[in-house]
Amino acid sequence: MKSKWQLVLFVGLILLLTSSVVGCSASPTETIHTPSSETPSTASPTERQTYTLNVRISPPGAGFVSCPGNEYEPDTQVTLTAIPSSGYTFDCLGGNVSGSSATTTIVMALDKSIIAHFKELPPPVFSEVEIYDILESTATIHWNTNEPATFLVEYGTSSAYGSVTSDTVWKDATDWGRVTLRELKPQTTYHFRICAVDKDGKQAFSNDYTFTTLSPKGLFSARLFPFIPGHDPSVLVEEFYWVMRLNTNLFNGSSQTITVTKVEFLYEDGSVAFTLPTSASAMRESKYIIPTLGRSGLPEIWKNWQLAAGSSLFTGIEFDRVQPSAKELEGRQVKWYCLDANGVEFVVTGEYSPLP
């Protein structure tokens, strides 16, 4: 009987111990938190070690901002300067800073983001493009721009051009330019355009322009006029005056030196009265006229047969035995036969005028 109660007492003790252990275990609804490196810091801003400065450029590549770094200790003063790239200009600052000044100073008390805005510069603009002094083989072009630039000119017989001035027309930047195109073909239409490059490398082209070179013949003038000793050259020669000499001159208004091959004096019906130069025998056979080369070394000019650009050549014929009246000379002409710089022959005709 005693052993039975001992057994019961032992079992009860075991049950009591088991009940105590189950009562210390965690409830299924409870969560145990453990420190983790991924847990965000709850430190106050004054406990931060550094602040970050983020700078962006708009548009990308248009410039940069000079600053000593992007991580700063609290309350650090940072001076920033926005610097444009070639072809751009500074516009304004945005983000956590605003203003139109390219330089600003900020205090790093928080993380900050700044945007530097830039604007693209326009290329040069042309104005007052002029073409003048157009001759048979040259033409001069002048233009202005709204800013200093260096220039060159493309030209040719079509809008495809094909030729260009040998080097920059104006190597030193200026806001205007001028160039003379040379070795052009007579009576030919040319196209040209001007290229300008400013100090920022911005390039601009003018519109397409055209001009037409002149005929060599149209740049020469000849005169045939009477010479009367003692007569005032500013006074018209009356019809009844007797004429001692018939003079002529040729003016070269072109840009080239030409060669004179002969000069013909014509009657009013167009037949040839006399030709210079001529042989001595032909001179003796002439009924009314003998040649003269004038004065001031003109024989030397005739010897070389050359007439330079912008120059005049003078000669005449003197009437021997019978001197015609001014009335009889009306309708007469003179023809100058010439070769241009390319060896092409042309003829310049001059009409008789009673005014010397």
Q: Give the domain CATH number at 189.
A: 2.60.40.10
Residue 186 has pLDDT above 90, yes or no: no
Q: How confident is the model at residue 295 (pLDDT cuts 50, 70, 90)?
A: very low
Residue 31: inside a domain: no
Residues 334 and 221 reside in one and the same domain: yes
Residue 229: inside a domain: yes
Contact present, 342 and 259 (Cβ < 8 Å): no
Residues 230 and 346 reside in one and the same domain: yes
Residues 221 and 345 reside in one and the same domain: yes
Give the residue with greater pLDDT, 240 vs 82. Answer: 82
User: Last residue of a domain, which of 90, 120, 150?
Assistant: 120
Give the residue with greater pLDDT, 229 vs 295. Answer: 229
Q: How confident is the model at residue 274 (pLDDT cuts 50, 70, 90)?
A: confident
d(CA 32, CA 39): 15
- In degrees and rounded to multiples of 5, residue 232 shows phi and psi of -70, 115
Residues 223 and 328 reside in one and the same domain: yes
Contact present, 312 and 325 (Cβ < 8 Å): no
Provide the pLDDT for residue 289: 40
Residue range 93-135, pLDDT digits in tens: 999 988 899 999 999 999 999 999 999 888 999 999 999 999 8
Residue 38: inside a domain: no
Tell me the C-alpha to C-alpha distance, in Å, between residue 62 and each of 59, 119, 149: 6, 8, 22
Q: Which of 249, 251, 235, 248 is nearest to 318 (CA)?
A: 248
Residue 3: inside a domain: no
Amino acid letter, residue 135? L
Residue 25: inside a domain: no
Residue 81: inside a domain: yes
Average pLDDT, integer, range 278-292 = 41
Give the residue with greater pLDDT, 3 vs 356. Answer: 356
> What is this structure's pTM?
0.56
Contact present, 116 and 82 (Cβ < 8 Å): yes
Residue 5 has pLDDT above 90, yes or no: no
Contact present, 208 and 193 (Cβ < 8 Å): yes
Residue 262 has pLDDT above 60, yes or no: yes
**What is the extent of the structural domain holding 75?**
48-120
Residue partners of 27: CB distance under 8 A and separation at least 6: none
Residue 345: inside a domain: yes
Contact present, 150 and 197 (Cβ < 8 Å): yes
Residue 4: inside a domain: no
Give the residue with greater pLDDT, 30 vs 44. Answer: 44
Residue range 134-171, pLDDT digits in tens: 988 899 999 999 988 889 999 999 999 999 986 556 65
User: Last residue of a domain, which of 191, 214, 237?
Assistant: 214
Residues 271 and 340 reside in one and the same domain: yes
Average pLDDT, integer, range 41-66 = 80
Structural domains counted in the chain: 3
Place of tokens 């003179």: 334
Residue 57 has pLDDT above 60, yes or no: yes
Residues 342 and 252 reside in one and the same domain: yes
Residues 195 and 245 reside in one and the same domain: no
Residues 256 and 297 reside in one and the same domain: yes
Residues 209 and 149 reside in one and the same domain: yes
Average pLDDT, integer, range 181-202 = 91
Residues 147 and 181 reside in one and the same domain: yes
Tell me the C-alpha to C-alpha distance, in Å, between residue 11 and each of 14, 21, 24: 5, 16, 21
What is the SS3 assignment for 288?
coil
B/e letters for 326-335, b = 16+ CB within 10 Å, e = fewer, are beebeebbbb
CATH number at residue 265: 2.60.40
Q: Which of 250, 349, 255, 350 is nearest to 305 (CA)?
A: 250
Provide the pLDDT for residue 142: 93
User: Last residue of a domain, which of 214, 243, 270?
Assistant: 214
The pLDDT mean for the chain works out to 76
Q: How confident is the model at residue 277 (pLDDT cuts 50, 70, 90)?
A: low
| Measured torsion, CA atoms of residues 258, 260, 261, 264, in degrees rounded to the nearest 10 | 140
| Measured torsion, CA atoms of residues 44, 45, 49, 54, in degrees rounded to the nearest 10 | 140
Provide the pLDDT for residue 301: 42
Residues 161 and 227 reside in one and the same domain: no
Residues 195 and 145 reside in one and the same domain: yes
Provide the pLDDT for residue 316: 77
